[in-house]
């Protein structure tokens, strides 16, 4: 292999990579080009099928015409024989034989062309179904591409965030809340030992002692009244 051949192959390799990169970056254009190419081939195939269908219709019409002539010539032969027109009868018989041969050939040709026409129509419908399938595939694949790109953007955004700052902020919040709870607990613990609390307890005890003293006085007064009343009753 010469130098220029190797250089040509290297250039083709770079060109192929460049085209492949363009295709991967613009998949919609690739699908559109593929669909357009298939539509063009579908049109060409449709023309070919129409030619086969035209030939089938032509053979059918010719066959029908020959069969009609054969039906008409049968009684003509009988009349020519009855009237003694041998020359006319011979001509009619030759024409009958030609018609029968032609009908046989046309029947065979029509059978083949009909098979070709049905096969071509089936292929045309299948080709059309493939185009519709490719269109659906284009829609699905472009949707997958958009979804994947959106997910990649989200992943890039999340990976670019600093989680250290978030963790530090959360730890600070947790620590401040714990300190507040500790302050509240200390307040509750020493609240019962403060001077105000002790004075309040003493005051409560004092108030309770005064009330008991008043209660005892009332009891004594009631007992004295009862005793006096009892003494009065005895003297009477």
Spatial contact of 83 and 39, defined as CB atoms under 8 Å apart: no
Q: Which residue has the higher pLDDT, 78 or 191?
A: 78
Q: Quick one: tokens of 134?
A: 């490719």
Burial class (CB in 10 A: 0-12, 13-18, 19+), 19: exposed
Q: Quick one: tokens of 210?
A: 């005064």
pLDDT of residue 206: 64
Q: What is the C-alpha separation between 173 and 25, in angstroms, rounded? A: 47
For the entire predicted model, the pTM comes to 0.45
Does residue 125 have a pLDDT over 60? yes
Spatial contact of 116 and 52, defined as CB atoms under 8 Å apart: yes
Spatial contact of 120 and 49, defined as CB atoms under 8 Å apart: yes
Q: Which tens digits make up the pLDDT trace of 142-181? A: 888 888 888 888 777 766 555 566 677 778 878 888 777 7
pLDDT of residue 97: 92
Q: SS3 of 127, please? A: helix
For the chain, the average pLDDT equals 78
């Amino acid at each position: 292999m010469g130098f220029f051949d190797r250089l040509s192959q290297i250039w083709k390799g770079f060109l192929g990579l460049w085209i492949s990169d363009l295709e991967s970056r613009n998949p919609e254009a690739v699908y559109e080009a593929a669909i357009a190419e298939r539509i063009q081939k579908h049109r060409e195939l449709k023309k070919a099928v129409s030619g086969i269908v035209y030939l089938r219709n032509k053979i059918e019409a010719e066959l029908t015409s020959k069969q009609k002539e054969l039906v008409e010539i049968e009684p003509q032969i009988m009349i020519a024989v009855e009237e003694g027109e041998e020359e006319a009868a011979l001509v009619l018989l030759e024409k009958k034989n030609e018609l029968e041969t032609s009908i046989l050939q046309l029947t065979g040709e029509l059978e083949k062309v009909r098979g070709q026409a049905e096969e071509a129509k089936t292929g045309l419908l299948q080709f059309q179904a493939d185009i519709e399938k490719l269109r659906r595939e284009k829609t699905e694949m472009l949707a997958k591409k958009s979804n994947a790109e959106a997910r990649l953007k989200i992943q890039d955004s999340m990976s670019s965030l600093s989680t250290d700052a978030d963790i530090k902020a959360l730890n600070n919040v947790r620590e401040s809340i714990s300190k507040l709870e500790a302050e509240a607990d200390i307040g509750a613990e020493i609240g019962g030992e403060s001077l105000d609390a002790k004075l309040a307890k003493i005051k409560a005890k004092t108030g309770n002692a005064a009330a008991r003293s008043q209660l005892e006085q009332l009891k004594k007064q009631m007992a004295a009244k009862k005793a006096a009343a009892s003494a009065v009753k005895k003297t009477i």
